[in-house]
Structure 1
Amino acid sequence: MTRIAIVEGDGIGHEVIPVAQKVLFLLHPDYDFFPVEVGYGRWEQTGCPCKDNDISALKTADAVLFGAITTPPMKDYQSVVLRIRKALDLFANLRPIRGDGFDIMIVRENTEGLYSGIEEIEQDRATTLRVVTRRGTERIARAALRCVHQRKGKLTIGHKANVLKSDVFFRDICIAEAKKAGIVYNDKFIDALSLDILQHPEAYDVIVTTNIFGDILSDVSSYLVGGLGLVPSANIGDRYALFEPVHGSAPDIAGKNIANPVAALRSAAMLLEYLGDNEGAGRIESAITKVLASGIRTRDIGGSAGTMEFGEAITGILGKQG
């Protein structure tokens, strides 16, 4: 039996993930769904945001549907997201940006870089070690190249090699891997790339970059499709996979039934693709397109529908299709 771990997390995760889970259950009542509670809310209750047995539970799943986590700016608070990514070795973060006339896949290295977690705070300074390894760079480059092969496109390498020696290292390894694979590539400074992707999105196919640059670039690129409420992501490793909307926990709108569930729904579609159900993934995307075309939209994209109302419209269409 296929086992799916459901992690709502914090904030609007409690609203958008139940919508996505309901859709997954509608398409696959044969799946075994089980909850795993982690996050800031868990820390407030127990003093620990994520325990070892939570990680163990996630490792029993065939895939994880993940909501959003609040990470407070406290020096002694360990990021739950970073811990899970490292524990499950989810080294490839795939963030698709699709719209009218463009289809971009941002492939972000997910376990090192500035999010290495090697940090120190002293009285007069704070340091964060930016770790870029050969192994980490080779495997994220190869993951990006697999995407290029599947899409029959081209690779763009995003970096800041004019300033950072670690990015010279990253760029050169990515170029070597692209040449070895016979893939057409180019490279751009990440600041220029962030502007150009907004001006000429049709010029890009697969973009590979380091951890923090990929995080920022994908958030910037969400402007092209209407905002963070519409953008999904996949976190892939050799053994495990986790799917989550790109948006955060958004505590300012949590509990108000106004959060956009589309990113969570699209993350669920990516989960189905990972499990081999391309038809089910296509049905979710088709339902989203039909609901948006009917004028049912949440406030962030110009409508007045609530989270639950949007979700009910999606399940209504899928129910008719079934």
Structure 2
Amino acid sequence: MQTSYNGIAVPTEGKAIEYANGTYTVPDNPIIPYIEGDGTGRDIWKASQRVFDAAVEKAYGGKKKVYWLEVLAGEKSYRKTQNWLPDDTVKATVDFRVSIKGPLTTPVGGGIRSLNVALRQLMDLYQCVRPVKYYAGVPSPVKHPEKLDIVLFRENTEDIYAGIEFREGTPEAKKFIDFVNNTMLAGTKKKVREDSGVGVKPISIFGSKRLVRAAIQYAVDHGRKSVTLVHKGNIQKFTEGAFREWGYEVATEEFRDKVVTERESWILGNLEQHPGLSTRDNATMIEPGIEYAPPEFGESVIKEVEDTLQAIGETHGGGKWKSKILITDRIADSIFQQIIIRPSDYSVLATTNLNGDYISDAAAAQVGGLGIAPGANIGDGFACFEATHGTAPKYADLDVINPGSVMLSGVMMFDFLGWTEAARMIENSMEKTIQQKFVTYDFERQMQGATKVKTSEFASKLIENM
């Protein structure tokens, strides 16, 4: 452990959070690194830190305190060190294990393509966790935003975010295209056009299973009713489709006593509604039109029914499956519609990287937008909580931006640390302040009779309302 990082001294009064055997040990005086963020991040962080400190003080009467350690990244870091992401910053986030950050600019013209992606990959923060729920009073474009209450687990290290791509016209792209066309696709009608930029989309068993495992464990720990695997497996069968298959394997092999798959629920439910139902008739009910399919398909469905009843007929039958966590899957484009027209059907979503990126932002739009959407990047022994929006540089240092994303990311962080009293204090105070219509400009313009306030004034009101 260093005494300073990037020339900034470590608070001597604080202690590092420790991690061993899958468990965090959190002292009453943890040192937590923070990255202020670029652009509006400066205003947001100042407001959020005040709220965090006030909540901890009020919740614990001075018995607990966070000791903040600024670490450098982004534009501020580049101005001071000529480095967008110094080694000391990464080392501090590793040494102290739990950190929080504002929005960062993606450098243009070389270097690290995305600081956010770099931090995730360097610490193997494979879970991007995005809770999306409604806070009373927040303006929304949908009629019943309160029906949406999901936690999205997005795989964070693979898919197109692995960053394996080659620019059109480069020797690397030509070599890649030649290999694909002349070796992998030889003898087929498929070809990659010579003038293409190309990328690789890796999705592994290891990466997929550990993400789905984390999502199901979260559902178990928090009493969530379902986990939905989101994929585009109807088109990309060996990547997205494999994610689905591996997800079901994790569910049925590692959580068998706690889960039921959607198809299993149909099989068990059919038998309960129609006692004495034959295996073949049950198969016909879960696959209408089975008589028109090839015989081998029909036999495979009949065997599926037989295997299901043999494996879980006693443990899950007789209605017991209804108390289990339901494991389902949905096609990625379908889920955009589903979370609007049937939001209450979904609880935890487990997704591949790119799909999760799209869906989390779309879901956030239903409950107030990215300005109030928190997020976390979590690995085994490390966690970084962060704003989910951009830097909005034209509003930098104007004290006008909604700080809700970082503040609610802090709520996630305090829950993660086990400081739930401080977390609820911030969350409840924010909801109360919004209901009082004391809001920043993004909400004020959508709320009749609202008072438009500065970022700093919003923070002061939250502290007053605690």
Q: 1:60-95, CA deviations, whole angstroms, 9 ceiling, x for partnerless residues?
A: 224111100111453544321111111111111110
State the secondary structure of the residue aligned to 2:328: strand
1:171 aligns with 2:244: yes
1:3 aligns with 2:42: no
In percent, how many aligned pairs have the same letter? 30
Bigger Rg, structure 1 or 2: 2
1:244 aligns with 2:315: no
CA contact under 8 A between 1:3 and 1:62: conserved in structure 2? no
2: CA distance, partners of 1:216 / 1:73: 23
State the secondary structure of the residue aligned to 1:25: helix
1:235 aligns with 2:383: no
1:35 aligns with 2:81: no
In the alignment, which residue of structure 2 is the partner of 1:267?
Answer: 409
Count, aligned residues: 318
CA contact under 8 A between 2:208 and 2:243: conserved in structure 1? yes
TM, length-normalised to structure 1: 0.94
In the alignment, which residue of structure 2 is the partner of 1:293?
Answer: 435
State the secondary structure of the residue aligned to 1:60: helix
Displacement of 1:270 in angstroms is: 0.6
In the alignment, which residue of structure 1 is the partner of 2:463?
Answer: 315
1:82-231 equivalence runs, <5 A = 82-99=117-134, 100-123=146-169, 124-149=195-220, 150-164=222-236, 165-180=238-253, 181-182=255-256, 183=259, 184-231=326-373
Displacement of 1:51 in angstroms is: 1.6
CA contact under 8 A between 2:112 and 2:118: conserved in structure 1? no
Superposition RMSD in Å = 1.6
TM, length-normalised to structure 2: 0.66
Moved more, 307-316 or 146-155: 146-155
Give, as a single letter, the amino acid of the residue that structure 2 aligns with 1:175.
Y
Moved more, 227-236 or 27-36: 27-36
1: CA distance, partners of 2:338 / 2:101: 31
- Identify which of 50, 63, 66 aligns with 2:85: 50
Give, as a single letter, the amino acid of the residue that structure 1 aligns with 2:203.
V
2: CA distance, partners of 1:69 / 1:82: 11
Give, as a single letter, the amino acid of the residue that structure 1 aligns with 2:244.
R
1: CA distance, partners of 2:232 / 2:108: 27
Displacement of 1:187 in angstroms is: 0.9
1: CA distance, partners of 2:215 / 2:455: 34
Displacement of 1:254 in angstroms is: 2.2
The runs of 5 or more residues in structure 1 that have no matched partner are none
Displacement of 1:41 in angstroms is: 4.2
Moved more, 141-150 or 121-130: 121-130
2: CA distance, partners of 1:45 / 1:248: 22
